[in-house]
Chains A and B, each alone.
Chain A
Amino acid sequence: MSSAPQLDIDHIAKLARLALTPAEKATFAQQLGEVLHHIEQLSKVDVTGVEPTAHASPVFNVWQADVAQPGLSVADALRNAPAQRDHMIAVPKVVE
């Protein structure tokens, strides 16, 4: 872990698909710099040979029979769509 974390806010905002204003970028970079500085203390812990915990529940490899179940109707599934046409969700053109 680096000793002085640098958060490239433009790069991360692009990865996160978040259009941030210049003011937001400045504020978040400063606030998250402080949080990252705090998080740096995790580097002090000796984790040699320690297995990671993904979640604390003792449940693994859940299998279910592959059986079709009734789902939402088209009307219910489209009820919250921002734009729709002919029983489909309408989106901006992606290929010219």
Chain B
Amino acid sequence: MAMNAFLLVLYAVAGVAYAVQFARRTFGSSRAATVLLVLAAFAHTFVIGMETMRVGHVPFSSATSAILMFVWLLALSYLYVELTTGERAMGVFILPLLVALQAIPAFSTVNEPRSTILESPWFGVHVSSLLFAYASFALAGVLGITYVLQFKEIKAKDLGFFYDRLPSLNTLDEMNLRAVKIGWLFLTFGLITGGIWASQLPSAGSAAASMSLADPKIFIAVLCWAVYSFELYVQRIGWRGRRAAWFSAVGFGIVLLNFVAVSYFFTTSHNF
């Protein structure tokens, strides 16, 4: 779809700008990077608005359109964090993710199915909470990776590339924890609403039959919930810093696996 390819180009350009500002660290290059990403997010909002008008509902009922929504949410969440904290260093990690994910809708056709079971309001709440949770986990995962990179440099007494460019370990740790907390709340909410929605479906329907833990998508989502619950629990007894960072990075790996791989290859009914 031409619109999605156009968005891909916009995100790719912004990604290059973030790489340049990460290397150069000048005022002008930082400003340019943010402006380009804001433009891309703005165009993305427009595309989603158009799509909503065309199909008559918010488009997230297929795996591909859900990814389109997710990229948009992640771009907005990242911009929110950047504009409120003034920290741009994570952009160089987030942008490649946005570009890679946006490539999926850009190179495939989006057909937005609308079976009657998807018309329940619970479905909308369920999907949007989960997409938002995943965006938070993506941020947490990137924060975790940057934490580990910087932690290694400081521990090894080899203060180099990342040391000069990333915010303090404490800042990264706190931002990571906050992102996980927000993500966990939305994940919990999304799972509960999903459960309610499934229970309201006509029990004879074949779709409802697959809504159990045996569905790989549901199973991995619950696994994610367990991982993040554990991370939040053990941080109280001092598992902060590098351990929390690893949890966030691994957790997001699982999320990504669920969101992209499982949606396309392993599940037939629950493909969003």
The answer on A and B forming one complex is no
